[in-house]
Amino acid sequence: MHAQTNGKKLPFLREDILSWALAAGGVCMLLLAGLMAPDWAVAIISPACAIAALASCTLLAKSIRDFSRTGPAVRKEITGRYRWYGAYALARLTSAAFGLALFWSMPGALMAVAASETLELNLAWWIKLAAAALSLLAATIYAGCRALLLNPGLIVASWQYRTARVHRLWSALTPKGLRLIAQSLVLTGLAAVAALAVLRTMHGDFSDAFALLFATLGYGAIVGFALWEPEGTPPPPRGSERPNIVMIGSDTLRADRIGAQRDGRSLTPNIDRLTARGTQFTACYVPCARTAPSLISLLTGLWPHRHGVRDNFVSEAEAHLDFATLPKILRERGYRTAAVSDWCGADLGKFPFGFDVLQLPEDQWNLKYLIRQGPKDIRLFISLFAQNRIGRLVLPEIYYLGGVPQTLQLGRRSRHLITRLAATKDPFLVNAFYSTTHPPFASEYPYYVRHAKADYKGESKFAMARLTEPFEIIRRQGEPREEFDLDQILDLYDGCVTQFDDEVGRIMRHLDRLGLSENTIVVLYSDHGMEFFEHGTWGQGNSALGDFSARVPLIVSSPAMPAGTRVDSVTRTIDFLPTILDLLGAPPVACDGTSLVSLMKDPASDLRLKAFNETGMWITPPPGLPEGHLQYPSLLELLDVPDDASGTLAIKAEYRELILAAKDRMVRDGDWKLVYQPLTSGKRLTLYNLSTDPGCNCDVSALYPEETARLWAELDAWMKDAPLPSNNDHASREEARNVA
């Protein structure tokens, strides 16, 4: 996990100090309990260690027998180079499993030993072992049931069997029932501890009695620290008069879901309220519908062929951005900048954008990182107990497991970060980037059942089937529509949209509570959309025919701008950087984008902007391609690890030109949209009029040959990085470097 501060430390809030004091106090109380009753400590630890060793060894044996490593099935000569690293990773996870099993075995061992000594029962050793095993079993079953109901994506991510096997168990679970079980277990345990402590006191064994109490309190304090994620209550803001910036993004959020109606109600009421406070750009396009190039273009204002990142698979040597970025520019102007995300936001730390504070996972496209996530069996056990603050600090690769939603936790961390920044005297930028709407569309309770049909019993009950990690998400993009329960998947996706919308509402209310709403620019965005077979294919960035991947939501709410503005003319995410600088009154920088402030003031004006877009790299050819489309080899041939020390997966140099040549491209100018598809012999051009054909279903290139020729000349010039239209005052790549 990245956690840099670049010289600007954030103040600790009262809740932060209390939470860490809770952890320190818990450890001290456990140590004190062991010192006060050393005989008890040995008697408790012995059976707990035996059960923990048995459990961890069993998980290790099962994991080796049914081995299933996360990540791509790259060539054996590559994975062979990491043979010893894989052994280290498996030993590390086995140690973590042992530690967790020991922690949850100790309550049972403690109660057995305390009862045996206090009541003079002289329990046999196997009874103490059974008590420790029962304690671990109860904790594991409860954690599994809790995850199955509240966050089933966590189970699906490491489950090797058909999810239908747990449908009956799931149907018996309720939040109220889980709370009652937890409360009953805790109260029963506390009552037993209190009774045993009183009996020890009556026998005159005060040290044993206090040791029992200290052990219980210390144990509870550590659990409390792990689960408590405070949002924080800051002192009265000392903030600057300059506006703050809060960016709220969700990976794979389609533009057409904003304000969409479902069952007579909007899917996004909170985002609708944000829209009413600001400006909604309804025809905003990303230049490449893949996370890394899209985020880089957003924060640099440059086209992908100018900043050089054309897809997600970039080696560390190629990940350097020697351009002006929004965080770098704002830092020079005295801003504090921070980025916080869950599993999908690693690119915000992989590339040097210049954020002061990063709370992110490591690069998801890294073979060493994927190896450390381990086989599914042992990973499932660990992940049940690692979705908390301790898990994030100790096992970040398990905490940030790909495909596992963390919307609620990320929301709390985002608001906490805003609170800490608000306690300083400096203006700030916070970029909170969620994976909520990303495949496999596994939202948390009750969102995954909010729009789904109650009688659905298929494999996509909780998440899109057979999408348990990032590479499976990509691989399945080559499968036909018949392989998907599309109606259920769309229901799951809408549940994800609803959950993200609720988190947007929480952030907006948090800004209100902090008194920051009138001095904060709030931006809602996405890196790309999603295709659900509208043109025969699905996924992100696989098709340029429709607007479902390339067009994204962009809403900018600035206190200095008119409210409730809707801009329907063409805009681009590369326009975001100059727009923010214009809103801040900062000097412009050299980039490919244009400030949209004039449109925010007068949406009827027209900047005559042209949107260009290119598709991403295919791991496997997606369905819906025209016959004779230019193609390239499969995943096994495309990827390599150029640097063994880093482990970063990258495209082989010999295939890069072919991959770039095989990209589909499109240009939109007003109502016209031209799509280019490269063929083994020549090219295919299709023209659409979006005013009459918003779904891009009717090719009119034969009816309008002049428009086709004009747009092809512009798209061809953009592909060749020819001089851009003079009305946008673009600068060269070298000029952009000089600004940085």
The answer to whether 675 and 112 are in contact (CB under 8 A) is no
Q: What is the pLDDT of residue 620?
A: 74
Closest CA to 527 of 236, 253, 179, 162: 253
Q: Give 669's strand partners.
A: 610, 672
336: Cα within 13 Å, side-chain hemisphere: 23
β-sheet bridge partners, residue 172: none
Task: Please report, as a single letter, which amino acid is at residue 155.
Answer: I
Which residues, in sequence order, are CB contacts of 582 under 8 Å at separation 6+? 588, 595, 597
Q: Which is nearest to 157 in space by CA: 453, 368, 370, 414?
A: 370
Nearest 10 degrees: CA dihedral of 452, 454, 456, 459? 70
69 neighbors 372 (Cβ within 8 angstroms): no
The DSSP string of 661-699 is HT--EEEEETTEEEEEEEBSSSEEEEEEETTT-TT----
Beta strand pairing call for 665-669 and 672-678: antiparallel
> Where do the domains of the chain lie, and which CATH numbers do they carry?
14-227 (no CATH), 244-364+402-739 (3.40.720.10)
For residue 268, report the phi and psi dihedrals to the nearest 5 degrees.
-130, 65
Backbone angles phi, psi at 497, to 5 degrees: -60, -45
**What pLDDT is recorded for position 474?**
56
| Cα Rg, the chain, nearest whole Å | 28
**Torsions phi, psi for 172 (to 5 deg):** -90, -5
Other beta carbons within 10 Å of 9 = 12
pLDDT of residue 476: 59
3-state secondary structure 37-104: CHHHHHHHHHHHHHHHHHHHHHHHHHHHHCCCCCCCCCCHHHHHCCHHHHHHHHHHHHHHHHHHHHHH
Describe the crossing of helices 486-513 and 407-422 by its angle, rounded to 10 degrees. 20
Confidence (pLDDT) at 737? 39
Question: pLDDT value at position 488?
Answer: 93
How far apart CA 322 and CA 325 sit, in angstroms, is 9
Sheet holding 672-678: strands in order across?
A: 610-614, 665-669, 672-678, 683-689
CA distance 547 to 286: 10
pLDDT in tens, 323-369: 999 999 999 999 999 999 999 999 999 999 999 999 999 888 898 99
Dist CA 46 CA 129 (whole Å): 9
Where does residue 122 fall: left (phi above 0), alpha (psi -120 to 50 degrees), or beta otherwise?
left
pLDDT under 50 in the chain at which residues? 724-740
Structure-token pair, residue 160: 């090797």
578 within 8 A of 324, measured Cβ to Cβ? no
Give the residue from 138, 100, 107 showing the smallest Cα distance to 45: 107
Q: How far apart (Å, rounded) are the C-alpha atoms in residues 272 and 261?
A: 12
6: left (phi over 0), alpha (psi -120 to 50) or beta: left
Where is 460: in which H helix or E strand?
Answer: none
Query: Each residue of 17-51: pLDDT tens digit?
Result: 999 999 999 999 999 999 999 998 999 999 999 99
- pLDDT value, residue 72: 65
pTM: 0.93
Q: Please tell me the distance from the alpha carbon of residue 724 to that of residue 732, in angstroms, as a whole number.
A: 10
Task: Quote the Cα angle for 10-15-17, to 5°.
Answer: 70
Residue 121: its H or E element: none
Q: What is the pLDDT of residue 538?
A: 79
Tokens standing for residue 226: 């792990």
